[in-house]
Chains A and B, each alone.
Chain A
Amino acid sequence: MTLKNSDITVGILGLQGAFHKHQKMLERLSVNPIIIRYPEEIEKCQGIILPGGESTTMTKLLKSMALFEPLQKYNGPMFGTCAGAILLSTGCDDPRVDHLAKIPVQTSRNAFGRQIESFVAPIQIKDFDSDFQGVFIRAPQFEKIIGTIEVLGRLNQQPVFLKYGNVLVSSFHPELTDDIRIHQYFLNLIQ
């Protein structure tokens, strides 16, 4: 079944962080985004994006607003950027963060250091014909990557963009660029 972008409903978790930037990106791609703040909105979505922000903050709100379990049960395509990627992973170095465990990878929070170590760098992504501008903000790193995970993007050998079934995670922020290719890649998983 092939759907047009305009036929797809994509949810963006709207508790905290850069969800408006994802919304703008999806609107550019003619998708109808909905901002998820209530459990009943989850089942309406054909795909869900978990944005960057603070993973401790999002954990608190996911738990107190009864969103954690419905997201855990959700089987559709998911895409997590930065803090969203941490939430989709199976574990990290901080016990205050809870994980949806949608992709069997460990994450290390703020692995590059504090904000002064944040950076922009070109990254190579599989099947993209030119570099993608990777914006890394207090970015995490992916660790203990097993064979069933496909590494789609690397920065100096370091994996920064992963795919596992219908789940994508990036440690950088495509929503902070003007480049629509990664969001379209995610939409292709839905189509």
Chain B
Amino acid sequence: MDKSSFEVKVGLAEMLKGGVIMDVTNSEQAKIAEEAGAVAVMALERIPSDIRAMGGVARMSNPKMIKDIQQAVSIPVMAKCRIGHFAEAQILEALEIDFIDESEVLTPADDVNHVWKHDFKVPFVCGCRNLGEALRRIGEGAAMIRTKGEAGSGNIIEAVRHMRTVQMDIKKLTVLKNDELMAVAKELGAPFALVKQVAETGKLPVPNFAAGGVATPADASLMMQLGAESVFVGSGIFKSEDPAARAKAIVQAVTYYNDPKILAEISAGLGDAMRGIAMEEIPEDQRLATRGW
């Protein structure tokens, strides 16, 4: 019996496809998310928009709060560790969290290295802005990739930029010859074997989800149509006027992303979405997406 193989890690990511992973900060929110049809919840003490507002150092959540959420729901529970903070990751593994998000939303612990994720039995998801970053994370052992977007912004523009960039980078590889791939691998800063694999298959070797800025069913549909296989929603649900209704609508939007009639129906009467921030209002040094190397 083989536990913790890469196949088993990616297997869970496969099961989460076509679903919505929702940020929750307590067991009540976790139950609302599950009731709405979330495929998983992300347990964290403060949602990204609050982290942004409050400043200070954002760390792994309190294990007590994570355990409460694990008790409250039967769907998979994810939690975040700081970039490079392998000790936080070890603690999350000891808590038997189902997926660890090595996340730019928390304050990075290492400005050079990420966690060596192959050492863990629990699968990891990591953020990316482009193909090189995605393949470096997969090289380190990530079993799922999510485009970063700009967490806590309620603004989809960065998520779109990152998803389009990854897709464009992949398309370019598929038309290159073998002798050109090494130069591209150097340019991307990505492991050659993975670059070659993507060139051959035309897709990432692990599922690719979207995150960072999804606030409406239309946002979810947009990301799915651009090639996301699932959607993470952070602040977008519990910062809105009617979280339960919005959560349910976004779940339906991910399944019926190609059906504008259904999207029109489910988008009606949801109350106000989170307010959102224009990117120009976020100073460069406060942007979360630039964290990660």
Contact = CB atoms under 8 A, between A and B. Distances in A.
A9 interface: no
Interface residues of B, number: 40
Nearest to A57: B37
B14 interface: yes
Interface string A102-138: 0000000110011111111100000000000001011
A20 B15 CA distance: 10
A176 B252 contact: no
Nearest 10 interchain pairs by C-beta: A60-B37, A115-B98, A16-B18, A137-B11, A121-B1, A54-B39, A114-B96, A119-B3, A57-B37, A120-B2
B3 A20 contact: no
Contacts of B169: none
B138 interface: no
Contact of A117 (B3, B11, B259): B3
Given A115-B12, A120-B7, A54 B121 contact: no
B248 to A, nearest CB: 7
Q: Does more than half of chain A's interface fall in helix, strand or loop, or is it mixed?
A: loop
Interface in A48-64: 52-54, 56-57, 60-61, 64
Interface in B75-110: 75-76, 93, 96-99
B36 to A, nearest CB: 7
A98 to B, nearest CB: 13
A37 B252 CA distance: 11
Contacts of A121: 1-2
A20 B17 contact: yes
Given A61-B37, A121-B2, A54 B15 contact: yes
B117 to A, nearest CB: 14
A29 B38 CA distance: 33
Most buried by A among B15, B16, B18, B93: B15
Most buried by A among B8, B39, B98: B8
A85 interface: no
A137 B255 contact: no
B227 to A, nearest CB: 13
Given A94-B74, A137-B12, A176-B11, A116 B96 contact: yes
B178 interface: no
B252 A118 contact: no
A26 interface: no
A60 B11 contact: no
A115 B99 CA distance: 8
B39 A116 contact: no
A162 B209 CA distance: 33
A175 B245 CA distance: 34
A45 to B, nearest CB: 18
A83 to B, nearest CB: 7
A17 interface: yes
Given A37-B255, A57-B75, A61-B255, 15 more contacts: A17-B15, A18-B15, A19-B17, A53-B15, A57-B19, A60-B248, A61-B37, A64-B252, A65-B255, A65-B256, A118-B3, A118-B12, A119-B3, A120-B1, A120-B7
Interface string B1-43: 1111101100110111111000000000000001111111000
B123 interface: yes
Interface in A17-41: 17-21, 37
Nearest to A15: B255
Contacts of B37: 56-57, 60-61
Given A57-B19, A115-B12, A116-B121, A138 B98 contact: yes
